[in-house]
Structure 1
Amino acid sequence: MVRIYTDEIINAVCLHISERRGVQPTDVEVQLSWDEEYGYTAELWVSGRSQYLIESNLLEAIEQFIYSHYNRRVFRSDIRLGLNEDEGEFWADIVG
């Protein structure tokens, strides 16, 4: 099992969005969140515009990040997101 934390999840989203939008990863700002109604989401800003990602988008970004940085092919069903609310720390467990 591999566990990645908030910083790597944010890096995964930045790399994923920068590739899709044709911008530099440093041009993407990301804020992760969780609530009972929507689950895990991210608000991101690119070129002054805001966008929300839902959990499936986060899983897609993490899936690609794990493949490119850890050389492991995983599927979204292999990724479990979690949050330590006391510390505000997000994590993703990758099993399989």
Structure 2
Amino acid sequence: MTMPDERTKAVLETREFLLSLKQNLAVPDDVRRTAQALLRHYPEQRHLASVAAVYEKLSSAVLDDQGLALLLMSPVFDYPGDGDTPIPKRIRPETP
């Protein structure tokens, strides 16, 4: 089972790997462009810290308060989709 610190380290190291690909002139242009495109929306350390802070706060919330806390939390990730196919409403949470 992957622990949160291991997941965080993997995400940060993947970002560094993509940065190195983007900056390495020995790498083919299409690979560098792909790395740059991926980095455009790739989470930075500050994003991970925000998510960790939210989860820390939620883990200490009283069970009755968790539903409210989840409603107040802004989304960090969206449901995956291929861009052309709409995400079925049955798997999307209701938005206020």
TM-score range, shorter chain: under 0.3
- Give 1 or 2: higher helix fraction: 2
TM-score norm. by structure 2 comes to: 0.25
- Give 1 or 2: higher strand fraction: 1
TM-score norm. by structure 1 comes to: 0.25
User: Higher relative contact order by CA 8 Å / sep ≥ 6: 1 or 2?
Assistant: 1
